[in-house]
């Protein structure tokens, strides 16, 4: 029994390391055209009516920037992690091509999300930031992208990137 358990543990560790290598390689490949320095402006009014300015917000602390969409199936798994982080860290989210404000507000209310959202109804911010995949998560500090990831990301994955920023 001990041998069997040791074998399963070894296989699990190998699988996790392989997954880490593959996801890192995919992020590097997807991020090659992504702006890291001299990032585009991300300033505007949230759905809650609050003014947000990423450059100003990221001066003193790392900020999670989350590009997502109501129509994105993977975002349904990542958004709860972003919601949890938003209770402890600054988070700016951008709803890409998700419809009019009322539609996005209903979506947020239905899923009980309280994070700040800038509605990018026409994909203007998405185009400026060269976002090709939803979800896209960035960690921005001092006006520079410190971390970039796309697709599924877990709460520990986002938190780890935040701590290293």
Which whole number is the average pLDDT over 89-113? 95
Work out the pLDDT band at 76, boundaries 50, 70, 90.
very high
In this predicted structure, what is the pLDDT of residue 24?
66
| pLDDT classification of 154: cutoffs 50, 70, 90 | confident
Where b means 16+ CB within 10 Å and e means fewer, 56-92 reads ebbeeebbbbbbbbbebebbeebbebbbebbeebbbb
Is the pLDDT at 4 greater than 70, yes or no? yes
Q: Which of 69-78, 93-102, 136-145 has the lowest mean pLDDT?
A: 136-145
* 59, HSE (Cβ side, Cα atoms, 13 Å): 4
| pTM score of the predicted model | 0.82
Rounded Cα distance, 63 and 38, in Å: 16
């Amino acid at each position: 029994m001990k041998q069997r358990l040791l074998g399963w543990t070894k296989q699990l560790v190998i699988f996790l390391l392989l997954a880490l290598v593959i996801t890192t390689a995919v992020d590097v490949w997807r991020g090659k055209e992504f702006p890291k320095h001299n990032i585009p402006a991300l300033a505007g009014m949230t759905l809650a009516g609050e003014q947000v300015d990423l450059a100003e917000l990221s001066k003193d602390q790392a900020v999670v920037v989350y590009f997502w969409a109501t129509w994105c199936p993977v975002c349904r798994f990542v958004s709860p992690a972003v919601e949890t982080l938003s209770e402890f860290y600054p988070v700016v989210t951008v709803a890409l091509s998700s419809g009019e404000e009322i539609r996005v507000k209903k979506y947020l209310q239905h899923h009980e999300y309280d994070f700040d959202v800038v509605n990018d109804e026409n994909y203007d911010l998405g185009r400026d930031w060269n976002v090709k995949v939803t979800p896209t998560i960035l960690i921005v500090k001092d006006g520079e992208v410190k971390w970039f990831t796309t697709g599924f990301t877990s709460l520990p994955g986002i938190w780890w990137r935040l701590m290293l920023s």
